[in-house]
Amino acid sequence: MRCERCGSAGVRPHPSHPAPWRHEPSICRLRRGGSRRPLDNAGATHVPAKMRQGLFSEAPGRQIEALQMQAEALSPTYLVKLTRSMTVTAPRSTGADPTLATSLRHRLRDETRPAHEALDGCFVGMDDPAGRATYERFLVMNHACHWRLEPMLEQSELATFLPEIAARARRGALSEDLAAMRLTPLEPLAFALPPDLPHAIGAAYVLEGSRLGGRFIHRRFKQLRLSEVWTGLSQRFLALGEEPDFFRAFMTRIDSLTMSPTQSNACVEAAASVFGYFTRTADAVRARDEGVAT
């Protein structure tokens, strides 16, 4: 299968998109000029040399910040592939051995990567002047999922571990976005989550992490001046991704927990299951909007 924009071979279609999957223009542009070797610190050959230098000459702990600073010119879809394919070496700890907790943070990112990529595949082309309908589906999906998940988290053991969780809720902002853009909400699909702390942390990881992607999308919209192109564009939900970075603090708190292997597994399984829930909801929104029975 080939990309319909640049002709690159080996494009993997997303299950919910029978048509050939479209690369982001920036990916196509970059790939035309370089090989498709996987990214790592030694050979990121499909990233322009200037950017590579900036990215990988930093101390490991600062590579992500360097990426964020230089990423303005790239699309969010490309960025998510780039950041997930980087191997960032964590600084050596000088304190107690944090092996279990550190591996939980890494497990969350690494083991949910396929589920995250499947979800991203539902929104290819959103950061494009022609992508308004895709952004609308993105909002409706998030609205349904946040209205289902946030109250569950607020009533779980997470509320004791992280009392600020209720103040982190974004479902109100999503309701405002839908009202401002005259979008019809989707009834949230069924979803069950055990209320214990490991499951709740896994779910909260997905919700809090999604702010990072939202931040990139928000900046990309600004860069493309989409508010001048899309009449009545509302971005309250995306704008909340611009708040001071709570995600790292949350990850640090996870690192402070000692979990048994069973609890760690429950946490990672919950995160993967929440990603799957978002993807099922995205498919349901698409089916509704296209008038297809599910």
CB of 235 to ligand HEM, least distance (A): 14
- Of 258, 209, 277, 294, nearest to 103 by C-alpha is 258
For ligand HEM, which stretch binds (CB under 6 A), given 16-24, 43-51, 148-156, 201-209?
A: 201-209
Which residues between 63 and 102 bind ligand HEM (CB under 6 A)? 64, 68, 76-77, 79-80, 83
Smallest separation, CB 151 to ligand HEM (Å) = 16
Residue 150 lies near ligand HEM (rule: CB under 6 A): no
The answer to whether 285 and 140 have CB atoms below 8 angstroms apart is yes
Sole binder of ligand HEM in the list 119, 140, 238, 259 (CB under 6 A): 119
Stretch that binds ligand HEM, among 10-18, 177-185, 189-197, 209-217 (CB under 6 A): 209-217
Size of the site for ligand HEM (CB under 6 A): 23
* End-to-end Cα distance, the chain: 27
CB 45 within 8 A of CB 26: no
- Please report whether residue 136 would count as binding ligand HEM according to CB under 6 A: no
Cα 41 to Cα 53: distance, rounded to the nearest angstrom: 10
- 93: which DSSP letter? P
- CB 76 → ligand HEM: shortest distance, Å? 3
Closer residue to ligand HEM, CB minimum distance, 5 or 109: 109
Among 39, 212, 266, 270, binds ligand HEM (CB under 6 A): 212
User: What is 233-251 written as a DSSP string?
Assistant: ---HHHHGGGSS-HHHHHH
Q: Return the ∠ at Cα 75 (arms to 3 and 205), rounded to 5°.
A: 110
CB 238, min distance to ligand HEM, A: 10
Contact characters 216-255, ligand HEM, x per CB under 6 A: xx--------------------------------------
β-strand partners of 2: 9
Contact pick of 30, 197, 201, 206 for ligand HEM (by CB under 6 A): 206
| Of residues 28 and 64, the one with the C-beta less far from ligand HEM | 64
The torsion defined by the Cα of 72, 22, 181 and 212, in degrees rounded to 10, comes to -40
Q: Which one, 7 or 129, has the nearer CB to ligand HEM? A: 129
78 neighbors 30 (Cβ within 8 angstroms): yes
CA dist list (Å): 230 to 24, 86, 129, 224, 235: 20, 34, 8, 11, 11
Give CA–CA dist 84/105, Å, rounded: 13
Q: How many of the other CB atoms lie within 10 Å of CB of 254?
A: 21
Q: How far is the CB of 194 from ligand HEM (least distance, A)?
A: 19
The answer to the question of residue 278 lying near ligand HEM (CB under 6 A) is: yes
Residues near ligand HEM (CB under 6 A) are 64, 68, 76-77, 79-80, 83, 108-109, 116, 119-120, 123, 126, 205-206, 209-210, 212-213, 216-217, 278
